[in-house]
Structure 1
Amino acid sequence: MRIGIAGLGTVGSCVYAILKDKGDEIEKRSGRKCIVSKVITRTHSKYDKLGIPSDLVAEDFEDLIINSDIVVETIGGSEAARKLVKQSLELNRTVVTANKMLISEFGNEFMNSSPIKSLFFEAAVGGGIPIISLLEDYLIFHGIKRIRGILNGTTNFILSEMQKGMDYASALKIAQEKGYAEADPTSDVKGYDAAYKLSVLTGVKTGVFPGISTIETKGIEGIDKSDLERAATAGKKLKLIGTIDFEREVASVQPQEIERNDPLWSVDGVENAIEVETDLSGRFILRGEGAGAQPTATAIISDILRASRYAEKQSNSVVIMKFGGTSVDSAEKIKDVAERVQKKVLSGVKPVIVVSAMGVETDKLHELAKEISSKPNGREMDMLLATGEQKSIALVAMAIQELGMKSISL
């Protein structure tokens, strides 16, 4: 399975490293061979930093897409990511993304553009918490009554620090220093990040992504130490909680005071936890690290393996490789062509090789024909010129066979 990665930030770099370093282990456990076929990023210094070979660097999105069975989007933001995902789906590729804002706002558009399941986004909600696969696979026949949880590690860390007596500004600063919060934390502290995740979860359940305009949203930027002290005096904790009530058809993100017997009580620091209430099996709760490179990258890898079952039709895609006369005008160059073909085979595709006659062979045959006839018969001219290509294809086939691969000239 050929994997193309767009975006080599914290998460994208981690995905690349896992596929590169643990590829054999992944294949052993899953039975699926995943090879990074192309990568692209805006910061070109990342290529050298990660030791990425130049032939893996894509020229543009199209180059990445056509050389991949599964496209991993870790660009972030909306415009460039939307273009990549849309183009990938239009070219019948499978897409894996962690972009919650993208799925929340454009998920309906993407789903309508593909008749089969081609878009996977487990990492968009809860980092390493497998909430989406739980809803899509295990709870598919259950009636989901309610989903609630702590969906943002940044705000949960800040509130946890404030419970220890720290003020909001100091807690935010520590979160930024530890890499738990962005330089601009607006999306997190105003509750937008959690709202995007609720929109994604709603789409998984209902098939329609509502966006965040329909979700009542309130963040934590107005909370001070006295609010947490007052809650503590009453034996409660203050948490930013997202809730979807499917029976009432309402969703909200807001700070809430919770009791000690609440399953979210002990979820502190950067942890996330999501509780699902069903009609058949009662309540489920998933808990774990909801942010960071490793948890998010792990969720992406899991999605790649899930997606590979749907992308099987793309695996071993046929590609045409064309080599002109100057590429095969000597034995050494023909051996180079064979090595390039071998590399393409190892990337997970089936190449069909089209080669010209060696060097100026065709010109020589034209001159030879002119010595015989000023107006040679068309059919016989075709037969004559074809001998140049027959010579090339036989030699190229031999060179490929010498590398231990099957090849036949036609």
Structure 2
Amino acid sequence: MRLDYGILRAPARILFGNGQRAALGRVAAELGQRVLVCTDARFAATPQMQAIRDDLERQGLAVAVFDGTQPELPLSGIVNCATRFRDFDPQVVVGLGGGSCLDLAKLAALLLTHGGQLPDYYGEMKVPGPVLPVIAVPTTSGTGSEATPVAVLGDPSRAIKVGISSPHLIPHTAICDPELTLTCPAGLTAISGADALAHAVECFAAVERPGDPAMALTRVFVGKNALGDHLALSAIRLLFDHLPRAVEDGGDLEARSAVMLGATMAGLAFGSGGTAAAHALQYPVGAETGSAHGLGIAILLPHTIDFNLVQAPGAYADLARALGLSDAADDMAAARAFAAALRDLFARIGIPAGLDALNVDPAGFGRMAELAMGATRLVENNPRPLDAAAMRGILDMAMPEPRGKAAHA
């Protein structure tokens, strides 16, 4: 683990625990009098949503609700939300739901504060200043968006999803209430939890850069660092120990709590440390197949680890030893033990082993590899150097035997 350089970017406060959603009204009232809630149609129709709205109104707040959040967060939906509620002039924006709802709240706050067009802000460090305060209330345990400086959206003019990354997008307050995840289906629990695990693993194994004092002011993802390492390791422990339980018994509140805590800690970690190859590759794979982000990440992560440990086994070896998976002195042997344990965990929660489960056409692998290289902040964060040929090799590895191994040999 790294000890000589650390960066942490985080919400002003995180309220974690069962029943913490009841604090939302008082938190919002501290920040403004007009509240815009961004959610989706499913959650908007639940008793929990009515209780939350009642709580806000008891605090004397004017409340408007946008319940049109769509999966994969299309650009048009974000613009629609900001345009529709501009005259309402919200002072606080609440994101309530899965990752798309939280990202919508961030991006609506951005447009309502600074105007312009969202493509003006694509990439890193292009948001010119603070945005309206955002309160993030996740109902799934995966994206970690409640704690990150990143929002991802779908732009029809782009072949893959695009990101806006800026410390100004970090929510002011995160309210993480595990009780809100109790109705999350087993399949979504599995792929969301696998996404959170990937955040932590890729952050822990990210490239290690010299601790330049200017780096955190010019880059969102700084790579492996001391604060990210400790958060990521804690997240990995929680998810290894509790994710299978949460998938197998959705009513296990202890497991749900541990998984939500792990997802939030993973978000805190990668909000500065960043992610890498698995995320870069999922963008084109997801665009090609229409598959869920977390599912693609979970399939790709073990194969990116296989690629990375050839030259950079140390971080994976550290994880194996910390989790009690190996006591081997040899880094390569310990790293392979971690990779094997991760595959076993994913198999237990129903994650397929290969990209064939997504009905992906290998004929498009060359184009997908080129597109993945466009995710520069992720490519540069990988511990082993990447080029289009390496990306293509990982995709080949992720196809079933014998083709994958033969293609990589």
What is the TM-score when the length of structure 1 is the normalising length?
0.29
More strand by share: 1
What is the TM-score when the length of structure 2 is the normalising length?
0.29
